[in-house]
A and B are shown apart, each in its own frame.
Chain A
């Protein structure tokens, strides 16, 4: 299986890490299942929808977590979240070369209500603590469900985001925006619009992501080049805030990502969605948010 988006969580881990190096913590045979889903009569997964463990990438030790989109859209429940938080906390003592988060998630698992919300906030706190300790946290987002909600926020707290154009990143999902704000605000059935706004290409143009093709090899190649921590200081935070404020001033009133691309001076922006990764990166070179 060469495609990242079609691979399962464990296929992604196996394709990314050095062959045979992955050791899973709390593997499915330990049956760490959600206590909440059982109460609701819902089917459980023996790994609660996430695989965590240790392995090597080009010989360097990494800790790794991979969410399984096929189980409840990768939604974060109490056990699921605790496995990721535990991995991040363990990294503070083990100090691996990086922690890799292979995310695919609609956010909090609504069935688990407050337990799910708390789980996501614990992940966020653990990410920031780990970054403060100088261990890079890298997100790989290439699944078909995208990354939304609390895991969307978590993604923006990490050092680096590597993303394919098929993947999406956002806070509220398209259907949620349409339901709460109306179809005039965002038409979730217009798939072309959804991907223009939340897809990997727009995130790359906006400077949030490194774009790769939808293959496990492409993710691995980009990852090897990205295993450096980014400084997390008051100055970097203030610079980030200034960039975001400036972006809001320039583009805040725009209706569609294409308008933003045109305002950035990208030639013939309508053609961007159809370009393959290399041609796209060539076309947007030099454009800046």
Chain B
């Protein structure tokens, strides 16, 4: 007779081995290494909670400290590789396989380990794919997660940075896996239950509060007047044109400039209430002036942002907050909103090719993707109509069946830092795929999902292009003085401009001489603090006071 509860029986064995090291669910910090060695078995799939922002850093370094003679060949499934300890496990031999989404700071070292044969990569996923795989064939056997506080029953309070925790714990706990949480403090009563205690097997108080990276803070002092110009073009040529209300912004100074122009330039065009009302967005400090000016009705967030806690608490009509007052974020659900519910994604990139494919991959770095591939793609299954989505669909004009299109806007200056052209004949991603042995070139946003490319030279509306040749010339036509731009067919580009496929600043009624920093609703970090009524408390590295 077949045993139908092998997972449960195996968990019971592990729990029995681990129980001796804990008092109830609480493990003394000094014994965490022993506990991991008892409950993790060689070959396990292990998820270390590595988010965009908060990191289970104490558990990650404990895992890296295990003896590879005892525990080895682990398969790490983790959204973000942010810390050196996330790669140490491959160097020591504790782990050998990896599925992930984004590696940021660790991208160069990951490329070196990969070429040295110290790990194999399953795939570089988008967030939603990886989370989906947690519930199909990549379910973690053991998950090492991170929260702000726990009680003795294992109830977890995540604070504003809930991020990936619910999706990881749900996948693990309901398939007889083991969930271990590091917390900043163990309390009698958590302020709010983000994860119920009976889904959590062990908790350990970290000697130091978990690390959080302020990823989404951009100092307005560093926004250039070219970025102001591009933001004006975006607002007038895309936001106002399509009446974009539900949207996501990428990270960066380009989109921060748009956020800071809402209360000034967009207000002067009478757009308040007509654009940018509902957001899937991390709580960007640059959005504060637009919120205060009444532009923003709601913001749902993937994670929180350091320093924004008190401001969020004081604006519960705008942000999703719990009865305790602090924000509840959720990466999986906000990504879903970004993919399916938003009518526009706008963000920057490093390279764009002649088909409009864009990539942030550069040679020698295996960096993966953040949220852009999910949000910067047309959700083919979508069917609820909004005027923005339907209009884009009409412009795309595919077939007889009416169907909408998501607006996917790539916003780049024609030259990046060190005068590297943003437009190229061939993406570096191709060579990277070859050297790193990847199945696919790591393209962040596919060309057939991109609807508009915006540079300081103009906006190319790719929806209106009738064939590949027109599309290529539309891209060349906004590529300025880059080699790609100089190789344009002048007659075709002029024709595209006559048809409104390419629109220059003058065609939009935007005078570059008006594009000054005086238009920014905040020109410094301190302006943002003042705009928040003193509620925003930026980290010391962003202060000049």
A130 → chain B closest CB, angstroms: 33
Cβ contacts A to B, 29 pairs, < 8 Å: A1-B516, A1-B518, A2-B518, A3-B517, A3-B523, A6-B523, A144-B221, A165-B545, A166-B524, A166-B544, A189-B541, A190-B540, A190-B541, A191-B540, A191-B541, A191-B542, A191-B544, A192-B540, A192-B543, A192-B544, A195-B543, A195-B544, A195-B545, A196-B545, A199-B545, A274-B526, A274-B529, A274-B534, A274-B545
Q: Does B426 contact A (CB under 8 A)?
A: no
A234 → chain B closest CB, angstroms: 39
Q: Does B490 contact A (CB under 8 A)?
A: no
Within the assembled complex, what's the spacing in Å between the Cα atoms of A190 and B523? 20
In the complex, which residues of chain A have a beta carbon less than 8 angstroms from the beta carbon of B545?
165, 192, 195-196, 199, 273-274
Q: Does A276 contact B (CB under 8 A)?
A: yes
In the complex, which residues of chain A have a beta carbon less than 8 angstroms from the beta carbon of B543?
191-192, 195
A148 → chain B closest CB, angstroms: 15
Query: Which residues 523-545 of B have a CB within 8 angstroms of A?
Result: 523-524, 526, 529-530, 534, 540-545
* B530-A276 in contact (CB<8A): yes
B225 → chain A closest CB, angstroms: 10
A106 → chain B closest CB, angstroms: 16
Given contacts A191-B544, A194-B544, A273-B545, 4 further A-B contacts (CB under 8 A): A2-B518, A3-B517, A191-B540, A195-B543
In the complex, which residues of chain A have a beta carbon less than 8 angstroms from the beta carbon of B517?
1, 3, 6
With both beta carbons as reference points, the residue of chain B lying nearest to A192 in the complex is identified as B543
Within the assembled complex, what's the spacing in Å between the Cα atoms of A187 and B542? 14
Within the assembled complex, what's the spacing in Å between the Cα atoms of A145 and B540? 19
User: Which of B221, B530, B544 has its CB near the most chain A CB atoms (within 10 A)?
Assistant: B544
With both beta carbons as reference points, the residue of chain B lying nearest to A168 in the complex is identified as B544
Query: Which residues 178-199 of A have a CB within 8 angstroms of B?
Result: 189-196, 199
Within the assembled complex, what's the spacing in Å between the Cα atoms of A1 and B534? 26
A235 → chain B closest CB, angstroms: 38
Within the assembled complex, what's the spacing in Å between the Cα atoms of A6 and B223? 12
Number of interface residues of A (CB under 8 A): 19
Q: How many A-B residue pairs have CB under 8 A?
A: 39
B535 → chain A closest CB, angstroms: 12
Q: Can you list, as one digit per residue, whether each of A152-185 has a CB less than 8 Å from chain B (1) or not (0)? A: 0000000000000110000000000000000000
Within the assembled complex, what's the spacing in Å between the Cα atoms of A54 and B529? 40
A88 → chain B closest CB, angstroms: 31
Within the assembled complex, what's the spacing in Å between the Cα atoms of A273 and B538? 13
In the complex, which residues of chain B have a beta carbon less than 8 angstroms from the beta carbon of A3?
517-518, 523
In the complex, which residues of chain A have a beta carbon less than 8 angstroms from the beta carbon of B523?
3, 6
Within the assembled complex, what's the spacing in Å between the Cα atoms of A77 and B526? 34
User: Which of B517, B534, B540, B542 has its CB near the most chain A CB atoms (within 10 A)?
Assistant: B540
Within the assembled complex, what's the spacing in Å between the Cα atoms of A273 and B545? 5
In the complex, which residues of chain B have a beta carbon less than 8 angstroms from the beta carbon of A2?
518
User: Which of A192, A193, A276 has its CB near the most chain B CB atoms (within 10 A)?
Assistant: A192
B418 → chain A closest CB, angstroms: 16
With both beta carbons as reference points, the residue of chain A lying nearest to B517 in the complex is identified as A6
Nearest 9 CB-CB pairings of A with B = A273-B545, A192-B543, A192-B540, A195-B544, A191-B543, A195-B545, A191-B544, A190-B540, A6-B517
Query: Which residues 457-491 of B have a CB within 8 angstroms of A?
Result: none
User: Which of B518, B524, B526, B543 has its CB near the most chain A CB atoms (within 10 A)?
Assistant: B543
Within the assembled complex, what's the spacing in Å between the Cα atoms of A144 and B221? 10
In the complex, which residues of chain A have a beta carbon less than 8 angstroms from the beta carbon of B540?
190-193
Within the assembled complex, what's the spacing in Å between the Cα atoms of A189 and B542? 10
In the complex, which residues of chain A have a beta carbon less than 8 angstroms from the beta carbon of B518?
1-3
Within the assembled complex, what's the spacing in Å between the Cα atoms of A192 and B529? 14
With both beta carbons as reference points, the residue of chain A lying nearest to B529 in the complex is identified as A274
In the complex, which residues of chain B have a beta carbon less than 8 angstroms from the beta carbon of A190?
540-541
Within the assembled complex, what's the spacing in Å between the Cα atoms of A277 and B530? 13
Within the assembled complex, what's the spacing in Å between the Cα atoms of A3 and B518? 8
With both beta carbons as reference points, the residue of chain A lying nearest to B530 in the complex is identified as A276
Within the assembled complex, what's the spacing in Å between the Cα atoms of A196 and B545? 6
B536 → chain A closest CB, angstroms: 11
Q: Can you list, as one digit per residue, whether each of A1-41 has a CB less than 8 Å from chain B (1) or not (0)? A: 11100100000000000000000000000000000000000
In the complex, which residues of chain B have a beta carbon less than 8 angstroms from the beta carbon of A166?
524, 544
B297 → chain A closest CB, angstroms: 29
In the complex, which residues of chain A have a beta carbon less than 8 angstroms from the beta carbon of B534?
274
Within the assembled complex, what's the spacing in Å between the Cα atoms of A199 and B545? 8
Within the assembled complex, what's the spacing in Å between the Cα atoms of A6 and B518? 10
In the complex, which residues of chain B have a beta carbon less than 8 angstroms from the beta carbon of A165?
545
Within the assembled complex, what's the spacing in Å between the Cα atoms of A6 and B527? 14
Within the assembled complex, what's the spacing in Å between the Cα atoms of A191 and B541? 6
Query: Which residues 193-229 of A have a CB within 8 angstroms of B?
Result: 193-196, 199
User: Which of A189, A190, A191 has its CB near the most chain B CB atoms (within 10 A)?
Assistant: A191
With both beta carbons as reference points, the residue of chain B lying nearest to A271 in the complex is identified as B534
In the complex, which residues of chain A have a beta carbon less than 8 angstroms from the beta carbon of B524?
166
B264 → chain A closest CB, angstroms: 14
B315 → chain A closest CB, angstroms: 20
Query: Which residues 19-60 of B have a CB within 8 angstroms of A?
Result: none
Within the assembled complex, what's the spacing in Å between the Cα atoms of A3 and B530? 17
Query: Which residues 219-236 of B have a CB within 8 angstroms of A?
Result: 221
Within the assembled complex, what's the spacing in Å between the Cα atoms of A196 and B542? 14
In the complex, which residues of chain B have a beta carbon less than 8 angstroms from the beta carbon of A274?
526, 529, 534, 545
Within the assembled complex, what's the spacing in Å between the Cα atoms of A274 and B544? 10
In the complex, which residues of chain B have a beta carbon less than 8 angstroms from the beta carbon of A144?
221
In the complex, which residues of chain A have a beta carbon less than 8 angstroms from the beta carbon of B526?
274
In the complex, which residues of chain A have a beta carbon less than 8 angstroms from the beta carbon of B530?
276
Q: Can you list, as one digit per residue, whether each of A47-91 has a CB less than 8 Å from chain B (1) or not (0)? A: 000000000000000000000000000000000000000000000
Within the assembled complex, what's the spacing in Å between the Cα atoms of A190 and B540? 6
In the complex, which residues of chain B have a beta carbon less than 8 angstroms from the beta carbon of A189?
541
Within the assembled complex, what's the spacing in Å between the Cα atoms of A190 and B516? 30
User: Which of A1, A199, A273, A274 has its CB near the most chain B CB atoms (within 10 A)?
Assistant: A274
A38 → chain B closest CB, angstroms: 23
With both beta carbons as reference points, the residue of chain A lying nearest to B525 in the complex is identified as A191
Within the assembled complex, what's the spacing in Å between the Cα atoms of A191 and B217? 15
Within the assembled complex, what's the spacing in Å between the Cα atoms of A136 and B523? 34
Within the assembled complex, what's the spacing in Å between the Cα atoms of A166 and B543? 11
Within the assembled complex, what's the spacing in Å between the Cα atoms of A144 and B222? 12
Within the assembled complex, what's the spacing in Å between the Cα atoms of A145 and B122? 49
In the complex, which residues of chain B have a beta carbon less than 8 angstroms from the beta carbon of A191?
540-544
